[in-house]
Structure 1
Amino acid sequence: MCGRMALTLPPAAMAQIFEAAPANTLPEGPNYNICPTNDVAVITGGPDQPRQMEAMRWGLIPAWYKKPNDGPLLINARAETVLEKPAFRSAVHDRRVLVVASGFYEWTKDAIGGRDPWYITRRDGAPLAFAGLWQGWRTPDTGETMRTVAALTVAANTPMQAIHHRMPVVIERADIGLWLGENGKGAAPLMRAAADDVLQWHRVDRAVNSNRASGPELIEPFQQD
């Protein structure tokens, strides 16, 4: 699962890393506490579409919703069932994107039920690229189209199971063109757990448990008093 993210670089710098042209509207950054319904940084592309980085609302809104809260908040999509779900099955064929971040958060519980946050990054220090699906949703009042996105998740690999039973699908640099459709078809095998040595994590302060918290201290290793 993936319920919070951090983007520690300016979005324009992230666009350069992924060789994408920055759109006129990019998410604000750095942002150390990206929450559902916030804008996230997304890379789009395709066989006839130059790679671009733009902002999308985190939380896919199916086309049939009359308003954004007409149903569940779809921040994640299970890769195992994505082809069966009406909200995702067309997107997985035609609207695949990358959700990019510096890291993401997950939680465990202590002996009395307190929520302990962990900050998860790549071991090699590179940005993370999550497999994502997007959907345009037309607002009834203005007729404008809002672009919304969900991140794909799979069963956690062995190390990650110590923190959570699910994890986001991490797309490796060599597979980006295939996931975006730039290099033809056959992206389904990419919907798998990352290798056991790809990710690392450390405890951070419970301050991040609040969706109002901000600042680089949120990702610093937790220091026990």
Structure 2
Amino acid sequence: MCGRMAVTLPHDAMAQMFQAAPGNDLPEVPNYNVCPTNRVHVVASDGARRLSAMRWGFLPNWYKAENDGPLLINARAETIAQKPAFRDAARARRCLIPASGFYEWTKDAEGNRLPWYIARADGAPLAMAGIWQVWGNDDPMATCAVVTTAANPAMAEIHHRMPVIVAPEDWALWLGEAGHGAAVLMTAAPDDALIWHRVDRSVNSNRAAGPELIDPLDVE
């Protein structure tokens, strides 16, 4: 599962990292509380890589309105090739969704939602596997979803799902630049790839903002 993320890398650094041409309408950074339906940074390729903005919330072509069905922010790796909403995009419209980290939640004995911030152990940005498509005829909009898989044993202590993290050496394969076989990449990252810490419950609000959202929370 990935339901909230943070993006702090500057646009020029992001473009350089992925060797992608940046668009002119990229979302503002840093953003420590990127929420579903927000515009997110996406790297896609049609032979040349482009860094652009897309709505986080994949819209199948049969939706008549943005709220015409479930909000599809994630696509399960196990069923992505069979689901009518995702299968064409999984075959032909894959992308990378950069993030500095993402949030996940556990619950305490009273049912309170306790947020965790999760990032790469080596401090590098995440490149999450994604799919995309353009929705609408009158006012076309590019939309995307994060591909998720079953959590590795370490991550399973926080949540049973996690984003598919694509290693730099596999970016070309996931983007369709290096032939076929991207399905083999839709697995969980190694146990030691990610680290996490508790953060303040203020991030539970989609209106919260600021770098303090990812600060470690002192818990006993």
TM-score (norm 1): 0.95
Please give the residue correspondences for 1:1-225 in structure 2 after superposition, counting only pairs within 5 Å: 1-46=1-46, 49-138=47-136, 143-224=138-219
Deviations 1:113-142 (A, max 9, x none): 111100000011110011100011115xxx
Structure 1 Cα separation of the partners of residues 145 and 93 of structure 2? 11
Contact 1:11-1:41 within 8 A present in 2 as well:
no
What is the alpha-carbon distance in structure 1 between the residues aligned to residue 167 and residue 192 of structure 2? 13
CA distance in 2, matches of 1:153, 1:171: 11
Paired amino acid for 1:164:
H
Aligned partner of residue 81 in structure 1, secondary structure: coil
SS of residue matched to 1:72:
coil
Question: Deviations for 1:144-169, whole angstroms, at most 9, x for unmatched residues?
Answer: 21000000011100000000000000
What is the Cα-based RMSD across aligned positions, in Å? 1.1
> What is the letter of the counterpart of residue 129 of structure 1?
A
Work out the CA distance in 2 between the residues paired with 1:158 and 1:223: 24
Q: What secondary structure sits across from 1:90 in the alignment?
A: helix
Shift of residue 19, structure 1, vs aligned partner: 1.4
1:153-186 C-alpha deviation (Å, 9 max, x unpaired): 1110000000000000000010000000111111
- Write the distance in 2 (CA, Å) between the matches of 1:11 and 1:70: 33
Aligned residues: 220
**How far 1:13 sits from its partner (Å)?**
2.1
Q: Which letter maps to 2:174?
A: W
Unaligned runs of 5+ in 1: none
Per the TM alignment, residue 93 of structure 1 is displaced from its structure 2 partner at its CA by 0.6
Query: What is the one-letter code of the residue matched to 1:176?
Result: W
Give 3-state SS (helix, strand or coil) of 1:217's partner. Answer: helix
Q: Take 1:185 and 1:209, find their aligned partners in 2: how far apart are those partners?
A: 40
Structure 1 stretches (4+) deviating beyond 6 angstroms?
none
The structural deviation recorded for 1:21 is: 1.1
Q: TM-score, normalised by structure 2?
A: 0.97
In 1, distance between residues paired with 2:37 and 2:58? 9
Give the Å deviation of 1:12. Answer: 2.9
Residue 10 (structure 1) shift: 2.1
Q: Which amino acid letter does the alignment assign opposite residue 72 of structure 1?
A: P
Contact 1:41 1:54 in 2 (8 A): yes
Separation of aligned partners in 2, 1:18 and 1:32: 21
Question: Aligned to 1:41, what secondary structure does the other structure show?
Answer: strand
Q: 1:158–1:196: 8 Å Cα contact kept in structure 2?
A: yes
Deviation at 1:224, TM superposition (A): 4.3
Which amino acid in the other structure matches residue 5 of structure 2? M
